[in-house]
A and B are shown apart, each in its own frame.
Chain A
């Protein structure tokens, strides 16, 4: 195939392809930088001391902040982490240590498809099994729907990380007489720890920016969080409501909230990367 074309044609094709690829990289980066710059420039104007400490004000009255929504997002995310992470680690352990059979195959398949299931449908599910029977929206329902989103993510990374632990290390521990659970606890978790931690941080980062599953579980509220069985203010739904409102001050607040969420997610992602890098260095990989 290469012989049939002259050198000039090949070189021209090469240059054209490189240009096209470089151009698409530029187009992609331009859009993404553009979005980040806008979020930053529009959001920075809303951020001041009140933004972090005060309750929202009704439209038309300037000032006020999203302190209740920030607290609510933290509470909901913590609930999701408490519920989702241990379960995910256990399920990932099952898949990696005991799951080399038919049931393991099925669960692995379902987990991989579950990872990208539409988050809004998970919201519908939690609405049906929690909000309807209990009769009201609640922060807990929001936490549960985020936990369901986290579960497959944590399961998958845990399994992947545990599989990287060499079998010879497992066998060495077992040969010393350690029971299987003790080997997993002391050897496998320890050597896969950094990777698992990264997966967990990334999963938390992902759910802390989720909006759709909270729309009809946690709902929203203009007040301070008042127990996890009540509707709970949260940043993302507040951003959605404020952005869709016709009031200019609310839209400014929505930009402020967007900047805050974007920064939080970015910082968590960078932190996750640093965990891996530190662990990699200490192991001299």
Chain B
């Protein structure tokens, strides 16, 4: 507090300056987002004009003929994300519950920190692992087994190559797992001890406490965490580009190579010499931006909407 004594002169000038500076920085975020949107639309405009709505429903992606349709990549993005969520959500819930309610007390902080550290590992590492380590295992052991036992489904037909939609979904799942688990864990830790103890006092089993006390109490945060994981999976580039095989074809089989918006951008952006090609790629980016923005915006809105009153400032 000693510093407060020698308050500089011209403090009203400093005051205005400080307010203006922080206001400017805050406003800059707003401007930046608007600018991003505007620039993407401006650069995508030639493609938007040329292909119109066809861009969103056509599956033809032919740079040589100058024909561009985004449906393959949009479906690829949605399917890989859905696959990742189906695999990762139950596991993330299990991990989070294990960490907060079941693991022995001395293990909890260690496991918790480990999961948080793993969530920070860059996605390119997951991509490397998926390409060099996991793809051969998938091709030699997992895919033959799947086509033998579940091969009557169109999902599991075709040559086992290791690289393709299935690999992308699994690698994405492994990537978002620690992230979602640590967010959910933070939420579960907020359940008041008294609530849990009173349920135990009534004779509830551990599972009943989890299902009837902890989960309802943390539901809001859990859904928020799942949405954040979803946002990550939708926009993920590196973990997917390594392993999805990059083919602009639609297929029922999860064994076949496919594409996502992000992987198409990563592979083709620097090679696009033709202006309309580049414009079509920017439009892909715009579509991805809008999809994630809607998903994350919904999550944000939901979190606020359901916020308990009194907690909000």
Give A residues with C-beta under 8 Å from B.
1-2, 10-11, 13-14, 17-18, 20-25, 27-29, 31-32, 34-36, 38-39, 42, 87-88, 90-91, 93-95, 97-100, 103-104, 106-107, 109-114, 116-125, 127-129, 148, 151-152, 155, 163, 173, 176-182, 184, 186, 202, 205-206, 208-212, 215-216, 219, 236, 239-240, 243-244, 251, 254-255, 258, 261-262, 265-266, 269-270, 273
**At the interface, yes or no: B147 with Cβ under 8 Å from chain A?**
no
Given A111-B29, A151-B32, A179-B11, A18-B269 contact (CB < 8 Å): no
B226 within 8 A of A: no
Q: Are A94 and B269 closer than 8 Å at their CB atoms? A: no
- Closest CB in chain B relative to A210 CB, distance in Å: 7
Contact segment of B50-58, B60-68, B118-126, B249-257: B118-126
State the CA gap A18–B206 with chains docked (Å): 8
Q: Are A239 and B124 in contact (CB under 8 A)?
A: yes
Are the C-beta atoms of A206 and B120 separated by less than 8 Å? Answer: yes
- Partner pick for B102 among A18, A116, A122, A173, CB 8 A cutoff: A18
Q: Are A262 and B234 in contact (CB under 8 A)?
A: no
Q: Are A216 and B269 in contact (CB under 8 A)?
A: yes
- A28, A87, A110, A179 — which one has the most chain B CB atoms within 10 A of its CB? A28
11 A-B contacts, Cβ less than 8 Å apart? Answer: A2-B203, A35-B174, A111-B29, A117-B235, A121-B36, A182-B14, A184-B18, A209-B124, A212-B237, A262-B125, A273-B113
Which of B39, B113, B203 contacts A129 (CB under 8 A)? B39
Q: Which of B92, B122, B210, B288 contacts A210 (CB 8 A)?
A: B122
Give the chain B neighbours of A243 by CB distance below 8 A.
127-128, 131-132, 242
Interface of B, secondary structure class, is: helix
Contacting residues, chain B, for A31 (C-beta < 8 A): 174, 177
Cα distance A120–B124 in the bound complex, in angstroms = 13
Interface contact A10-B29, CB-CB below 8 Å: no
Stretch of B1-9, B151-159, B189-197 that contacts chain A: B1-9
* Given contact pairs A128-B282, A209-B121, a sample of 16 additional A-B residue pairs in the complex whose CB atoms are under 8 Å apart: A14-B207, A21-B102, A22-B98, A23-B94, A24-B93, A91-B26, A109-B297, A118-B236, A124-B282, A178-B7, A202-B120, A209-B122, A211-B122, A239-B128, A240-B127, A258-B125
If A22-B98, A216-B270 touch, does A125 touch B36 (CB 8 Å cutoff)? yes
B311 in the interface, Cβ–Cβ < 8 Å?
no
A258-B296 contact in complex given A21-B98, A120-B265, A212-B266, C-beta closer than 8 Å? no
Distance in Å from the Cβ of A121 to the closest Cβ of chain B?
5
Query: Are B94 and A25 closer than 8 Å at their CB atoms?
Result: yes
Nearest CB in chain A to that of B227: its residue: A116
Q: A266 to B116: give the CA distance in the assembly, Å.
A: 10
| A25/B26 in contact, CB under 8 A | no
Q: Are B129 and A39 in contact, CB atoms less than 8 angstroms apart?
A: yes
Contact with A along B14-35 (1 / 0, CB 8 A): 1101110111111111101101
| B237 near A120: Cβ-Cβ < 8 Å | yes
Chain B hits for A116, CB < 8 A: 228, 231-232, 235, 292, 296
- Say whether B285 contacts A120, CB under 8 Å: yes
The CA-CA distance from A127 to B266 in the complex, in Å, is 13
- Closest chain A CB from B244 CB (angstroms): 13
Q: Is B186 an interface residue (CB 8 A)?
A: no
- Across-interface contacts of A123 in B (CB, < 8 A): 265
Given that A94-B25, A110-B29, A176-B1 are contacting pairs, would A24 and B95 also be in contact in the complex, using a CB cutoff of 8 Å?
yes
